[in-house]
Every structure is written in structure tokens, then in C-alpha cells.
Structure 1
Amino acid sequence: MSPFRFGANRRDFLVFGGALAVAGAPALALAQGESKDAPAAKAPLDLLMAEPPLPDLWMGDAKAPVTIIEYASMTCSHCADFNVRTFPLLKANYIDKGKVRFALREFPLDPLAAAAAMLARCSGDKREAMVELMFAQQKNWAFVNNPLEGLRDLVKQTGMGQTAFDNCLNDQALFEKVNSIRDTAAQKFGITATPTFFINGDKKPGEIAPEALDEVLAPYFK
């Protein structure tokens, strides 16, 4: 059966999510914007850096002294805020200067986020641009009555046509890989909310504001 029914509205996605739970999918207490006061933890680096079911698409110098992995949901408003406000500074001041190596991993909070993540993966070398566009335009597709229609209209801007859109969302193997990344992160790294960052293995839940970026990263450059 196809992961998604075309023309679905938000209620359909909620019903689909319930069906996953009945079918035995792991039950996760997921939320946006976990408190920044949550205790920090360090993930086992061998597990954290193991290649996930969908390969990491790294940005930055492989020899950079700092590695950041972000777990994000495409429907998470805090993730969108980080991407729009903070990530441009991270890229310009750290990634592009060879100081930071960065990768974004999928942690869908709901089936709609999984669909968006799948479409980003299906865009190939346009994935970075697709993610940026989805976060920038999140309110125009994630919080409407017909989110798939909104997504369909959005990805047309990247050149993805109707057939490619339908084929991507009918790709059961891709759907399972996206959710496998989420399940592994929840079970092995204790992620319960998005965004969650791992900076050289140190777990930092919650959005990083632009004005806090330098302070957060400073200890790693001593």
C-alpha cells in the first residue's frame, strides 16, 4: 500500500499516523522545541557517525575540527526558524570557512514531515535547496487544509513534476528508510524533540538562536 493518499488533508495524515501505531510502529513521545535546559548528553561517536540508511549529505570540510549533526522535522516551526535565522550565519562564518562540517538528518514528527523529507531526498543534488525552500515556506504547506497540494505546488519551483512527485511519495522503501533514521535516533540517542543537535557528539536539544551561535560553538575551538 502506498504510504500516502494523494489529496489527503491534515485529518487524513493524523489518521494515517494512528494506523502506523496500530501496526506496531515504535511509540515516540515527540515534540517541537525541547527545553534548552534539558541535561546535555554525549552520544557514542561510533553509533552517531555510522552511515544511516540514507547517506549523510555533508556540507563543509571533512577535516573541520567541529562536526554538527542536526535532527530535524520539516513540519517543526523551531527547525524552520533555525534554518531561516541561524543557519545562514553558521554556513557563512563556520561551514564555508572550514571550521564546521554539517549534516541534517531526518526526524519526522508526523507523516507529513516524512513526505516532505522524502521529496527532499528525491530531488537529488537539489536536496539542500529543497530543504531551504520548504523551511522558508513552511507556513504555506504545513499548516493548511491540503498539505500535499501545498507541497506539490512548492516543489514545482525546483523543477519536480507531477509524475516525479507521485513516484517519490509512493516509494515505500524510501519511506521506511526515513523513518528508520528517526527510530534509531530516538532509541539510541534519546531524541524526543526537534531540533536536536550533536556537536562533536555532545547532545544539544532545542533551537540555537543567531545571537547564541558563537557562544555555543566557542568551547569547541579552544
Structure 2
Amino acid sequence: MTRTLAAAALAFALMAGGGLWLSQSTGTAPAELPTGAANAQAAEVDTSTIQEMVLGNEEAEVEVIEYASFTCPHCATFHQNVYGDLKANYIDTDKIKFTYREVYFDKYGMWASMIARCEPSKFFGIADLIYKGQSDWVRAGADGAIADELRKIGLIAGIDNDKLESCLTDGDKLRTLVAWYQENATADDVQSTPTFIIDGQKYSNMNYADFSAILDEKLGE
């Protein structure tokens, strides 16, 4: 099974206050915006500032776009069992262009994304750490404990504490990321995670054998 997306407006309402809470020291629950206000803000956000996270050959004829959530267990399983072979055989060999786009089910996935994007050059390495430790950090307890576990991942990746705090409390970046997610999910009709757009066609979660068969057909191999 894959995880099904909630309505985009609801996702934005859940996310909008998340980063603001991280700037507080009280450990209280994050604030939430009313759905109408969330939609109005999303419509006004310039998402062109968001960097696409890309590996492989930028000029490749075949592009794979993965839509995934850092809190999605099926996405973690894909990254543990399939992604390594995909990277070794198709990404690192420059056969394809691989683009990773985050999906936000909840504030914890949003916070994980803010950590992963804190230093773009380390994004994929941090993403690996987030997925590997997913079963631990998502069950850390209260919001503050989960945030602290994500901070630890950033520290392990070599990001200093001051920079981590700056990334986690960047409300403008948070709102822009959520608006960017909404645009992408709408354009590609993403209803669940993980979802893959391969050479313009949408596919659901799959094993490596099925994935490689599709890629070989697209590549004419």
C-alpha cells in the first residue's frame, strides 16, 4: 500500500505553523492557519526560488521524478531496498536524470525537509539518514523530541547548530516549500507516495525489477 495524500489546502494548514513553533522554547503545539488563509497565502508565493534536487545526467532524455514524504514508511522502504540499485545502475551511470520532490503529509515531514535542504549539496546524503532513521525519529515522542532527533541528523551531516536553527525557523522558506509542493502535486496529479513520473508517465510504488524494466524500455535497451 501507499500513503494517500490529504487535500492540499489541509496540508498547507497543517504545515504553516510548524516552522514558527520551532523558534519557540515552550514546546507548545504549532499554530495552524485557517484553510482559507492558507490557500490565499499559497496563491501569492513565488516558488521559483526553490531548488530542484537533481542527480544524474541533467541532459538525459529520460527523467525520473520521485514524489515522496520523509514520514512515509513505503518511501523509506523504497529508499532502502530499491533506490540504491537505481542509483548505481541508472543515475550514477548518467542514463537518467533523477529529481526528488518532497510531499508534505504533516509537520514532521516538513521539518525533515527543512533539515535536508539546509545545505543543498548535502541533501541526498541527509535524505538517506532521515529515511534510515525514520522508524526511530518519527516515534521519538512529543513534537520537541522529534524536532531534536531531526536536529541530530543535521549535526551528524556536519551542519552546525546555528545554521540548523536558522533553517528550521525560516517561516518564509516553509511557506514557499509548501506552495511549491502544492503546485507540483497538482500538476502531476500526485495522490499517494511514493509516486514516480517516468518520462512523463505516472507510476506507483514498485520493486527494482519492475522499475528497471520500465527504464530499459524508455531508454531503448
C-alpha contact 1:8 1:147 (8 A) present in aligned 2: no
Which residue of 5, 12, 24 maps to 2:29? 12
Which residue of 109, 112, 129 maps to 1:116? 112
Which sections of structure 1, spanning at least 5 residues, go unmatched? 27-50
C-alpha contact 1:108 1:182 (8 A) present in aligned 2: yes
Give the number of the structure with larger relative contact order, counting CA–CA contacts within 8 Å between residues 6 or more apart: 1
Aligned length: 192
* Further displaced range: 78-87 or 158-167: 158-167
CA RMSD of aligned residues (A): 2.3
CA distance in 2, matches of 1:170, 1:147: 15
Map 1:201-212 to 2 at 5 A: 201-205=200-204, 207-212=205-210
Q: 1:34 — aligned with what?
A: none
1:57-83 deviations in Å (ceiling 9; x for gaps): 321112323100111111111111111
* Further displaced range: 128-137 or 178-187: 178-187
Secondary structure at 1:70 match in 2: strand
Which sections of structure 2, spanning at least 5 residues, go unmatched? 1-16, 40-46
Q: 2:215 — aligned with what?
A: 217
Deviation of 1:132 (Å)? 1.0
TM-score, normalization: structure 1? 0.77
C-alpha contact 2:114 2:168 (8 A) present in aligned 1: yes
Note closer, same or farther for the CA distance 1:89–1:116 as it changes in structure 2 (3 Å cut).
Answer: same
Quick one: percent identity of the two aligned structures? 27
Moved >4 Å (runs of 4+)? none
C-alpha contact 2:20 2:171 (8 A) present in aligned 1: no
Which residue of 77, 92, 97 maps to 1:96? 92
1:177 aligns with 2:168: no
Note closer, same or farther for the CA distance 1:86–1:8 as it changes in structure 2 (3 Å cut).
Answer: farther
Q: 1:48 — aligned with what?
A: none
Q: 1:195 — aligned with what?
A: 194
TM-score, normalization: structure 2? 0.78
